[in-house]
Structures are given as structure tokens and as C-alpha cells.
């Protein structure tokens, strides 16, 4: 099948994972880098972002380039990821070419941090919308989406796998008691502050934590893929926190940590329980700071439990059709069956 994919491919971006999955499946791919829509001097892009509803500076130009690429390449499907920089009128024209238009929504478009009216106007032009959260399915339908399905995040096996240099024997003598890898968010703050003052060996990675009082200098910054695999393997426990403002029921790390065979302690949500089962089957859950701290102590005092949980969660993820290749197969199957 011929596919045009619009997304970001650098690092662990989902667009790059979908591209790799499509190539592995033998599809003929044309990839359009969504970052091109943001190309501008920083002060201009900041101006557009704050004054024009998070509008990329080259939105119109990139949209028309996408249309021309579809005319030239003649794909069966256009797949966009996240808040893809393709305007509504261009999406309509692409549909008139007989091309199926799919969006894999990886952020909540109604989260104030991401909300962009130009993007929401285009939602009704998609033939199929796949959301990584159940909480906003009704919003997509109300926005005029023709077909909407819940499709969880996945993992990219080319990026997320156990570090072969690490094993359980040296987990207990190296690395942190508990680690968290993720960007700063006000809903995450109580958990992070509790860990900073807990006396546990706690490693924090990610951006923007310096903005919060008492956390300046605590984060070790952003982390590359190779280093992430080492950090997860070395840590006794890996913390998984969702984002309330994003109405998350799970996040990318929900699949990535187990794929790297980390022992995951995660927030208790309906989606997490659907993925990993009840308490103690593959992960431990918490709903409060006090419960998180109690579960940390329980895991630190029980290495066999940590090993059993990490092994079971790993099997659930890697043997349960949770790769982005599996997600792409689902998207194409549902979208084409609906035609």
C-alpha cells in the first residue's frame, strides 16, 4: 500500500515509529516532517504560537505541500500523528482525491496546553480518528469526526528493549531506588516533591522541572534512548505518572518501561488495569502520595517481587500485539473496512 505519513520522526516521536512500522510491513512510504511547519526564527514562532492559537508559522505552506505530495504520490491513505499541521480545507481537497485520511491523536486537542482552533476545525475532515485516550472520544464525535476509535499508545521495538548489559544482579548495587523520566506538570508535582524529600535514591529526568520551587537542579535533563535503557535497567523501580490536564488513562511510558523490562509502579487508572490486570499481576498501582510511598517500600524490600512483576509486564507488552506495527495494522484495517 502507498502511504503518506505526516509526523515528527526525531528521537522517540510516534511519527517516526509509525514510519518504521510501515516500512517493516512493506508499504511504500512518503514521510513529511511536521517540524518543517515550525521553521522560523524563534521570536516569530513564539509570536504565532501565543497570538495565533498555537499556529505554526508555515502552517499554510506545509498544508499545501502535503496536498501536492498526495497528488504526486497518489497514496491510498494519509496518516497524520498528533496535532498535524494540515488545515481543514487541504484535508477536504485530499479527501476529494479519493485518499483516506487518518489521524492518530497522541495528545488531547482540548488540553489548553495544546488546543488550537485551526486543528479542531479540521477534525471533521478525517475519515477515521484514533485517540490514545478514552476520555475524549465523545469530544471527537461532537467535533464532527466520522469514525472514532480508542487506540492505545504502543512501543517501538527498535527503541525500547532490555539493556543487554544490565541484569537483576547489578540492579541492586547500581542505579536509583526509583526513577522518573518525563516532563514537568503541575499534577505530577506532589509525587515528585515527595520523592525528592523521601531519603530514597531518586533520579529525575525531563524538562521544565526547574520552573517549580524546590526542584531547581534536581532534574538530570532530557535523556537519549541508549541512556534511557541503561537508567531503566539500573533502577529498582520506574515510576509512571499520567497527565490529568491531558485526560490520560495511560501514557507512552506505560508501554515503554515494561518493554525495557523495568519494574513499574504506576498510577491507578481504568486503562492501566485493562492493560496490566489487577494489583500485583504485572505492576503495582497507587492513587495518592502516601500509597505511592508505601508501594515503593514494599517493592524495595522484595527483590523477587520486582523481578516477577517486571517479567510479567514485559510479556504482556511484547507478546500482546502492542508494537506500533500492530497499531498501524489496526488503523489500516479499521479505516479501509469502514470505506
Distance, CA of 279 to CA of 241 (rounded, Å): 16
- 2-154+323-337: in CATH 3.40.50.2000: yes
What value, to the nearest 5°, has the Cα angle with vertex 150 and ends 62 and 31?
Answer: 25
Chain CA centroid to CA 181, Å: 13
Task: Report the pLDDT value the prediction gives residue 173, as an integer from 0 to 100.
Answer: 42
Map residue 291 onto helix, strand or coil: helix
Sign of the four-CA dihedral 59, 61, 67, 72: negative
Query: Bridge partners of 55?
Result: none
pLDDT at 166: 63
Set of cell numbers at residue 182: 518525563
Cell numbers linked to 310: 517486571
**Equal CATH topology for 2-154+323-337 and 168-319:** yes
User: For the chain, what is the radius of gyration of the CA atoms?
Assistant: 21
CATH of domain 168-319: 3.40.50.2000
Q: Taking the model in full, what pTM does it have? A: 0.93
Distance CA 156, CA 205 (A): 20
Residue 221 grid coordinates: 535533563
The residue ranges of the chain whose pLDDT is under 70 are 40, 48-52, 166-174, 339
* pLDDT at residue 164 in the model: 78
pLDDT at 116: 85
Name residues whose C-beta falls within 8 Å of residue 254's C-beta, 6 or more positions apart in sequence.
152, 153, 240, 264, 266, 271, 272, 275
List the domain boundaries for the chain.
2-154+323-337, 168-319
- Confidence (pLDDT) at 11: 79
Amino acid at each position: 500500500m502507498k502511504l503518506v505519513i505526516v509526523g515528527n520522526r526525531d528521537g522517540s516521536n510516534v511519527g517516526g515509529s509509525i514510519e518504521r512500522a510501515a516500512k517493516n510491513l512493506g508499504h511504500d512510504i512518503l514521510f513529511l516532517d511536521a517540524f518543517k511547519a515550525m521553521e522560523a526564527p524563534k521570536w516569530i514562532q513564539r509570536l504565532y504560537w501565543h497570538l495565533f492559537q498555537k499556529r505554526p508559522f508555515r502552517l499554510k505552506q506545509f498544508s499545501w505541500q502535503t496536498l501536492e505530495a498526495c497528488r504526486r504520490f497518489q497514496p491510498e491513505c494519509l496518516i497524520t500523528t498528533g496535532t498535524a499541521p494540515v488545515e481543514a480545507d487541504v484535508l477536504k481537497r485530499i479527501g476529494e482525491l479519493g485518499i483516506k485520511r487518518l489521524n492518530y491523536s497522541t495528545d488531547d486537542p482540548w488540553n489548553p496546553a495544546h488546543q488550537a482552533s485551526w486543528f479542531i476545525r479540521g477534525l471533521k475532515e478525517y475519515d477515521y480518528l484514533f485517540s490514545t485516550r478514552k476520555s475524549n472520544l465523545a469530544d471527537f464525535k461532537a467535533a464532527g469526526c466520522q469514525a472514532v476509535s480508542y487506540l492505545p499508545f504502543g512501543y517501538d521495538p527498535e527503541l525500547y528493549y532490555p539493556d543487554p548489559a544490565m541484569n537483576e544482579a547489578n540492579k541492586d548495587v547500581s542505579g536509583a531506588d526509583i526513577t522518573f523520566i518525563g516532563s514537568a506538570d503541575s499534577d505530577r508535582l506532589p509525587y515528585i516533591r515527595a520523592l525528592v524529600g523521601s531519603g530514597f535514591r531518586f533520579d529525575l529526568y525531563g524538562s521544565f522541572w526547574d520552573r517549580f520551587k524546590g526542584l531547581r537542579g534536581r532534574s538530570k535533563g532530557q535523556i537519549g534512548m541508549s541512556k534511557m535503557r541503561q537508567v531503566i535497567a539500573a533502577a529498582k523501580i520506574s515510576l509512571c505518572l499520567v497527565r490529568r490536564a491531558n485526560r490520560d488513562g495511560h501514557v507512552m511510558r506505560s508501554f515503554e518501561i515494561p518493554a525495557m523490562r523495568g519494574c513499574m509502579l504506576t498510577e491507578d487508572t481504568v486503562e492501566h488495569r485493562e492493560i496490566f490486570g489487577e494489583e500485583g499481576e504485572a505492576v503495582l498501582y497507587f492513587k495518592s502520595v502516601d500509597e505511592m510511598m508505601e508501594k515503593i517500600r514494599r517493592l524495595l524490600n522484595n527483590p523477587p517481587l520486582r523481578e516477577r512483576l517486571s517479567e510479567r509486564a514485559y510479556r504482556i507488552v511484547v507478546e500482546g500485539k502492542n508494537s506500533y506495527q500492530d497499531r498501524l495494522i489496526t488503523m489500516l484495517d479499521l479505516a479501509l473496512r469502514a470505506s
